[in-house]
A and B are shown apart, each in its own frame.
Chain A
């Protein structure tokens, strides 16, 4: 395929189609970013004009009313702890499946992987009852515990990357008298670092953007994550356009900026995983 050899109508069609789609994505973001600096009345009366004067009140009002500082702290805390825990837990399990021999290995692996067919939507309700039973209802810990159980993708992906490390390297090091732990730490982990980064990126996105579990698990707003706090905010200020636009702006731009900075890494990691929660 060579774009230079496309026929003229195909070229025109390609540019029109791709530009049109890009506009459909950019236009709402542009509208949001323009509106956030306007006064509430200006948003309604002149929805598509540039702001007459730049005002940050929508952002600061929404930030204070929605307690977005706390929401970001909660989301960062929950995401970081869960992703780190997942990398450790599933890394250990994946290593056992890839490199060790034990009775029931295949069966256990099938059990671990079967979980990918279990929709989170079914787990949410009964696991919420479990959390209440454990006296963990409405805590950040309950969310972290749930995320730590999201094993299947991480175990599958990390096991495959451990298997890709040539066994000879490991055996040579062991023969040289290195301990198993040293081999793992000095040889295997450095060689599989990019797989860990891929799993970490994918899980960070899943957990950061998860809405269902916070919605089912959490009641008190001091524990809310960004998506749940945002949805809650919508319920409180339905008719306050300035507030709502401020809140969406606060929730959307930090992830977009991170994405713009790391777009190539993020794209390649997600393409490698080929998954969507």
Chain B
């Protein structure tokens, strides 16, 4: 009995000690991990997460941004204003136009161009070099250059139109309520076009060459190969390019701010230029943050669509 007892009690002692040491070590490792996370976490929490909470909280106040003691709690009043703010919804509409232009011109156009370059057009490397160059330049510099390009007198666009006998189409692009937004969108898309081309080219590099050759031997036309063999493979890349364009389109600010400052008379305002004007021009910090929360919600919806799309079209991401 006592032997059995000894048998039972003796072995657990070292095991328990070992186990204790092991959990000890695991604890120690886990503290190491927290120590590694801490520096990054401090910055991230302080200057990303906290500002979001502040934006949300401030959106329920009326405040001119100067003395916090002057801030007045309004409840949801800013959101009621927001619902009936015609200029804001016009800005949202402009962002939708940007998104649509990005989808049609940038996504489709860059796919076709990437396919042509990938197929081996002569000078492909040169075209890549040129198309991608605007991506590395600051959008402020590009926007300022674009002001000259769209200048009513001596601007490249107007002079080129006159040059090819279409002088009747000359207009004061950025000063026109109708044409300011399209001019800004054209500049914006031209600047970002190269990145989409590049993404599509790297996606096209993953297409199965044997399958392509088989299709070509079968005598399929180049167009059919493009849509029936190539497109299915790069669908995930296409989704990424589209959603990237959509998200950046909704955040559009720099190009508009520099080229038109949202004008003339809000004709090219986007959500963010309008938000900037309300917060810093109108000193209405509370309402500015309510608009910020609206943008956050819109982008959250886009993100949900994204996760839905990438889940059904899985594989590459």
Q: Write out, one digit per residue, whether chain A residues 253-276 have a CB within 8 A of any chain B CB (1) or not (0).
A: 001101110010011001110111
Partner of A126, one of B51, B139, B156: B51
Stretch at the interface among A16-24, A53-61, A165-173, A185-193: A16-24
- Complex CA distance for A98 and B118, rounded to whole angstroms: 35
**Do B288 and A100 touch (CB < 8 A)?**
no
- Within the complex, what minimum Cβ distance (angstroms) separates B172 from chain A? 16
- Within the complex, what minimum Cβ distance (angstroms) separates A112 from chain B? 7
**Do B51 and A130 touch (CB < 8 A)?**
yes
Contact A276:B244 (CB < 8 A) given known A25-B131, A130-B54: yes
B116 interface residue (CB < 8 Å to A): yes
**Do A1 and B115 touch (CB < 8 A)?**
yes
- Within the complex, what minimum Cβ distance (angstroms) separates B307 from chain A? 10
B26 interface residue (CB < 8 Å to A): yes
List, in ascending order, chain B residues with CB within 8 A of A267's CB: 128, 132, 198
- Complex CA distance for A48 and B52, rounded to whole angstroms: 49
List, in ascending order, chain A residues with CB within 8 A of B148's CB: 28, 31-32, 241, 244-245
Q: Write out, one digit per residue, whether chain B residues 129-169 have a CB within 8 A of any chain A CB (1) or not (0).
A: 11111111111110011101100001010010000000000
Q: Write out, one digit per residue, whether chain A residues 216-248 have a CB within 8 A of any chain B CB (1) or not (0).
A: 100000000011101100100000010011011
- Complex CA distance for A52 and B36, rounded to whole angstroms: 62
On chain B, the number of residues with a Cβ less than 8 Å from chain A's Cβ atoms is 97
**Do A151 and B43 touch (CB < 8 A)?**
yes
**Do B120 and A2 touch (CB < 8 A)?**
yes
- Complex CA distance for A228 and B293, rounded to whole angstroms: 26
List, in ascending order, chain A residues with CB within 8 A of B190's CB: 24-25
- Complex CA distance for A129 and B285, rounded to whole angstroms: 10
Chain A residue at minimum C-beta to C-beta distance from B45: A149
- Complex CA distance for A89 and B192, rounded to whole angstroms: 29
Among B116, B134, B244, residue most surrounded by chain A Cβ atoms (within 10 Å):
B116
Chain A residue at minimum C-beta to C-beta distance from B186: A24
**Do A122 and B36 touch (CB < 8 A)?**
no
List, in ascending order, chain A residues with CB within 8 A of B140's CB: 209, 211, 227-228, 230-231, 251
**Do A119 and B29 touch (CB < 8 A)?**
no
B41 interface residue (CB < 8 Å to A): yes
**Do A149 and B44 touch (CB < 8 A)?**
yes
B127 interface residue (CB < 8 Å to A): yes
**Do B121 and A15 touch (CB < 8 A)?**
yes
Chain B residue at minimum C-beta to C-beta distance from A149: B47
Q: Which of A146-192 contact B (CB under 8 A)?
A: 146, 148-151, 155
**Do A227 and B212 touch (CB < 8 A)?**
no
Q: Write out, one digit per residue, whether chain A residues 122-156 have a CB within 8 A of any chain B CB (1) or not (0).
A: 11011101100000000000000110111100010
**Do B195 and A270 touch (CB < 8 A)?**
yes
- Within the complex, what minimum Cβ distance (angstroms) separates B208 from chain A? 12
- Complex CA distance for A248 and B226, rounded to whole angstroms: 41
List, in ascending order, chain B residues with CB within 8 A of A18's CB: 113, 116-117, 121, 123, 127
**Do B146 and A28 touch (CB < 8 A)?**
yes
- Within the complex, what minimum Cβ distance (angstroms) separates B260 from chain A? 12
- Within the complex, what minimum Cβ distance (angstroms) separates A87 from chain B? 11
**Do A276 and B195 touch (CB < 8 A)?**
yes
**Do B225 and A1 touch (CB < 8 A)?**
yes
Q: Which of B256-293 contact A (CB under 8 A)?
A: 257-258, 272, 275, 279-280, 285, 288-289, 292-293
- Within the complex, what minimum Cβ distance (angstroms) separates A255 from chain B? 5
**A positions within 8 Å CB-CB of B:** 1-7, 10, 14-15, 17-18, 21-22, 24-29, 31-32, 44, 47-48, 89-90, 92-93, 95-97, 100-103, 105, 108, 111-112, 115, 117-123, 125-127, 129-130, 145-146, 148-151, 155, 205, 208-209, 211-212, 215-216, 226-228, 230-231, 234, 241, 244-245, 247-248, 251-252, 255-256, 258-260, 263, 266-267, 270-272, 274-277
Can you report 21 residue pairs joining A to B where beta carbons are below 8 Å apart? A3-B119, A6-B222, A21-B113, A25-B131, A32-B145, A47-B159, A90-B40, A93-B36, A93-B39, A96-B36, A121-B292, A127-B51, A149-B46, A209-B139, A209-B140, A215-B257, A227-B139, A231-B257, A234-B258, A263-B132, A276-B195
Q: A47-B154, A122-B292, A255-B136 are in contact. List 16 more A-B contacts (CB 8 A).
A: A2-B216, A14-B121, A15-B121, A31-B149, A32-B145, A101-B29, A119-B299, A121-B275, A123-B47, A127-B51, A130-B47, A130-B54, A145-B47, A149-B43, A211-B139, A277-B248
**B positions within 8 Å CB-CB of A:** 26, 29-30, 32-34, 36-37, 39-41, 43-44, 46-52, 54-55, 58, 65, 112-113, 115-123, 126-141, 144-146, 148-149, 154, 156, 159, 190, 192-193, 195, 198-199, 201-202, 204, 212, 216, 222, 225-226, 230, 240, 244, 248, 250-251, 253-254, 257-258, 272, 275, 279-280, 285, 288-289, 292-293, 295-296, 299-300, 303
